[in-house]
Structure 1
Amino acid sequence: MSHKDTNAMDEQNHKKRALVPRLRFPEFREVGEWEIKPLDSVCTVNPSSSVLPETFVYIDLESVEAGELKIRKIIKREEAPSRAQRLLKIGDVIYQIVRPYQKNNFFFSFDENDYVASTGYAQLRAFESERFLYQLIHTNDFVGRVLEKCTGSNYPAISSSDLAKIDVAVPKLKEQQRIAACLSSLDELITAETQKLKVLKAHKKGLMQQLFPREGETVPRLRFPEFQEAGEWELNNLGDLSTVVRGGSPRPISSFLTIEANGLNWLKIGDVDKEEKYVIRTEERVRPEALSKTREVNLGDLILSNSMSFGRPYLMKIKSCIHDGWIAITELHESVSKEYLYYLIFSPSSQSYFLNNAAGSGVLNLNAEIIRALFIAYPSLPEQQRIAACLSSLDDLITAQRQKIDTLKRHKKGLMQQLFPVMDEMST
């Protein structure tokens, strides 16, 4: 190959690897391409070990949730795993190397305590912008490259040495800082809005503790003014006020699934969002012949999951067949409002009853008899409706706040796709 051909090939390869993002801040549009380099040219992967203090906060894979440190486990040095030898410094990023697709990483920015991360994380210490590094490792492009190097099927993981050699695209420091500042401000906004959501949920929880009688009591601690002289509430078993039945599962279910228009809705646990109040859709349908082997519930019926996250109520907005992981409350007596009953089942006393009476040695579950025996207290219909309306308005606020957070997260995700180049794309 001639020298001229070699130069042409080098130039072609360079162009192929020259990267710029689709969206760039004006002051950097003429700066040129980003540089491609291995991760360990951007940060130290697992800095040298250090002498551990007598006690420290140990961060394992259960400690971090959605980028936040939820659990602080303080352990003694002698209790630490043998490979836990690296103290975190402010600005360090810990990267989850087991199941990295979860993107459950953590930016260490506090406090006076000593912290050590488990070997389920790689510790990254940036040479330049720590916050840019934190955003970089959350890009789909980076995570995709990591997953290509993972081994194991049930618990895919990457070694720290392989992680260190993953290629990344990096601009000059000032552009790193500009990108990091933009995305970090969005993170701060998301965190603030998430905190508002937590406050709303805590307010609702506290209100429910006051609006419903406690165990052994017949009136609540908090009552709306117009009902303060209305007297004690009625007491009864749920089974005496409704029909409580378990769903059914035609087997094998694959023989009954259909895409035909005459198919019946088939509700699975995965079809419902645990944060939602209503069932509004199903992913699958079953043939009409399945009806003899399952149970169909109607609009307005109330259903509960009877295992795993048992006792979680939903109100039906559609007609659907339910499998044996559901229990339905139907034919409710006219003296009890469905909306009121929904919140009553969510009340601390009802949930405590379910937890104390659930059966099973491994996975706890409820049966129809346990639910029928639930002792409920209920006032007159107008007071029931007043309670339900109050809590429903709070639910509307919580839903709106959750949607606001989801919108911000989608905005950030879209922005990241524009602000970071994809490694396989050629510059234009």
Structure 2
Amino acid sequence: RKFQGWKCMRSKSDKKKSLVPSLRFPEFREAGAWEVKRLGELASRITGRVGSKKLIPISISSGVGFVSQAEKFGRDISGKQYEKYIALERGQFSYNKGNSKTFPQGSIYQLQEFEDAAVPNAFYSFEFKKKYVPEFYNGYFEKNFHGHQLARFITSGARSDGLLNISAADFFSIVLPTPTNRDEQQKIAHCLSSLDEVIGLQAKKVQALKQHKKGLMQQLFPAEGETTPRLRFPEFREAGAWEVKELIKLAGRGTERNQKGKIKRVLTNSAEHGVLDQREYFDKDIAIQGNLENYFVVDQGDFVYNPRISSFAPVGPISRNDVGKGVMSPLYTVFSFRQSDTDFFAHYFNSSAWHSYMRKVGSTGARHDRMAISNSDFLAMPLSVPNPKEQQKIAHCLSSLDEVIGLESHKLDALKNLKKGLMQQLFPQDVA
């Protein structure tokens, strides 16, 4: 096997499988089994407080890494606790005890986004000793090698603050098998970081395409208070202004209930991913199966409004159901257009052209995470609509761009899967 100019060969030894990877670089084939090392032996805990230093308060976002609190929460939440935060420097690590879908037992990340920063003292922060290569251990943390061991320490779930009940002693007791030769640590780290660079470039390409689409949509749909888009295809430049119609004139609200709870497939509307199976999105059933008779029936092609506000959807998302028949929470609003071709509207609701109206007639209420709007106000939403041929042209243009984005996203997923498979062979199997 070859990767980045290096030939990897399988180890002849099949002994101590938990401490010998199935794939090693040729110069380390005879180097023997890796050492059994606990994190407490490999690293030193960092406990130095921020005090009066002026550092950026940061947090850990699962699947992303370190982000500023202002970016994650919309504000700095450190408050009076700031001076008790831990001062972290680039290259050092923190463990967030909060569970997530990706890391049920908490996540560990190396600080690479900032030169220095302030992290909550609820995190366990540490740095590896000089004889070890810190980046080598990122492979373990990325594949949740730590989580599989920490699972046995979790007995009572999360505390009232949402953090898992894991003590520092238990955390630093996790085993991270380590090559005796530092050069092997470095080689593995370099191999994976090289692949990370390729993945990063592909991710930037996908993001650039998404930004291009977003900018294009801003020009293909009329701006707030206008009825003519800034960019039109040549054959429609003399077609005049788009017609403004209330949603109720174009579509009808779906009110069919799930009689006797017969339909068991529960759907959700994710701001980032659109309509999909609830189990697929949450990795489990959130809805109580015995209470489904009050849920709305959603057919293929129906549109669904989720009033939950997020960074992806500041007034809540509207998405078309392209995954088939199911049921949805009565908190959602279901509607369907009377015309058969709804591609134009599927793209329209991915734009922000309708957001100003929602902000005008709706409110966030006491919870501040859900848009409150009456059914009559929702159905009175004004939509700027061109003639059917222009609708089709716009939809085809944006759908073609979606295909390109999809292809590049598949390439990105393939690279991530390549890395995942490579890590499974470059590191020993779980020891827990």
Q: What TM-score do the two structures reach when normalised by structure 2? A: 0.78
Aligned partner of 2:53: which letter? E
Aligned partner of 1:176: which letter? Q
Q: Which of the numbers 394, 398, 404 marks the counterpart of 1:391? A: 398
Can you give the 5+ residue segments of structure 2 that lack an aligned partner in the other structure? 1-14, 286-290, 310-315
| Aligned partners of 2:252 and 2:336 also within 8 Å | yes
Aligned partner of 1:177: which letter? Q
What's the counterpart of residue 12 of structure 1? Answer: none
Is 2:63 the counterpart of 1:66? yes
What's the counterpart of residue 94 of structure 2? Answer: 94
- Structure-2 separation of matches of 1:212 and 1:109: 39
- Structure-2 separation of matches of 1:356 and 1:331: 24
Between Structure 1 and Structure 2, how many residues are aligned? 386
- Structure-2 separation of matches of 1:109 and 1:401: 26
- Structure-2 separation of matches of 1:110 and 1:67: 11
- Once the two structures are TM-superposed, the CA of residue 108 in structure 1 deviates from its matched residue by 1.9
What's the counterpart of residue 109 of structure 1? Answer: 112
- Structure-2 separation of matches of 1:306 and 1:111: 35
* Secondary structure of the structure 2 residue equivalent to 1:377: strand
5 Å-filtered alignment, 1:33-182, equals 33-46=33-46, 48-49=47-48, 52-61=51-60, 64-71=61-68, 73=70, 79-84=80-85, 86-99=86-99, 101=104, 104-109=107-112, 111=114, 114-127=116-129, 128-154=132-158, 155-171=163-179, 172-182=181-191
* Secondary structure of the structure 2 residue equivalent to 1:399: helix
| Aligned partners of 1:235 and 1:377 also within 8 Å | yes
- Once the two structures are TM-superposed, the CA of residue 131 in structure 1 deviates from its matched residue by 0.2
- Once the two structures are TM-superposed, the CA of residue 87 in structure 1 deviates from its matched residue by 2.4
5 Å-filtered alignment, 1:278-293, equals none
- Structure-1 separation of matches of 2:305 and 2:344: 18
- Once the two structures are TM-superposed, the CA of residue 275 in structure 1 deviates from its matched residue by 4.4
Is 2:428 the counterpart of 1:421? yes
Q: Which of the numbers 238, 241, 249 marks the counterpart of 1:240? A: 249
- Once the two structures are TM-superposed, the CA of residue 156 in structure 1 deviates from its matched residue by 1.9
Q: 1:107 to 1:291 in 2, by over 3 A?
A: closer
* Secondary structure of the structure 2 residue equivalent to 1:364: coil
5 Å-filtered alignment, 1:314-325, equals 314-316=320-322, 318-325=324-331
Q: 1:115 to 1:373 in 2, by over 3 A?
A: same
Q: Which of the numbers 304, 313, 318 marks the counterpart of 2:319? A: 313
What's the counterpart of residue 224 of structure 1? Answer: 233
- Once the two structures are TM-superposed, the CA of residue 66 in structure 1 deviates from its matched residue by 2.3
- Point out the structure with max Rg over C-alpha: 1
- Once the two structures are TM-superposed, the CA of residue 17 in structure 1 deviates from its matched residue by 8.6
Q: 1:413 to 1:103 in 2, by over 3 A?
A: farther
Q: Which of the numbers 330, 337, 344 marks the counterpart of 2:336? A: 330
Aligned partner of 2:56: which letter? V
Most deviating of 211-220 and 314-323: 314-323
- Structure-1 separation of matches of 2:28 and 2:226: 68
| Aligned partners of 2:303 and 2:321 also within 8 Å | yes
- Structure-1 separation of matches of 2:114 and 2:144: 30
- Once the two structures are TM-superposed, the CA of residue 351 in structure 1 deviates from its matched residue by 3.0
Aligned partner of 1:67: which letter? V
Is 2:354 the counterpart of 1:350? yes
Q: 1:275 to 1:29 in 2, by over 3 A?
A: same
Q: 1:134 to 1:18 in 2, by over 3 A?
A: closer
| Aligned partners of 1:45 and 1:125 also within 8 Å | yes
Is 2:371 the counterpart of 1:364? yes
Q: What TM-score do the two structures reach when normalised by structure 1? A: 0.78
Q: 1:153 to 1:357 in 2, by over 3 A?
A: farther
| Aligned partners of 1:248 and 1:323 also within 8 Å | no
* Secondary structure of the structure 2 residue equivalent to 1:330: strand
Aligned partner of 1:139: which letter? K
| Aligned partners of 1:248 and 1:322 also within 8 Å | no
* Secondary structure of the structure 2 residue equivalent to 1:37: coil
Q: 1:70 to 1:24 in 2, by over 3 A?
A: same
| Aligned partners of 1:58 and 1:115 also within 8 Å | yes
- Once the two structures are TM-superposed, the CA of residue 376 in structure 1 deviates from its matched residue by 0.8
- Once the two structures are TM-superposed, the CA of residue 30 in structure 1 deviates from its matched residue by 0.6
Aligned Cα root-mean-square deviation (Å): 3.4
- Once the two structures are TM-superposed, the CA of residue 88 in structure 1 deviates from its matched residue by 1.9
Q: Which has the higher contact order (CA 8 A, sep 6+)?
A: 1
| Aligned partners of 2:221 and 2:348 also within 8 Å | yes
- Structure-2 separation of matches of 1:101 and 1:322: 26
Q: 1:94 to 1:212 in 2, by over 3 A?
A: same
- Structure-2 separation of matches of 1:268 and 1:20: 44
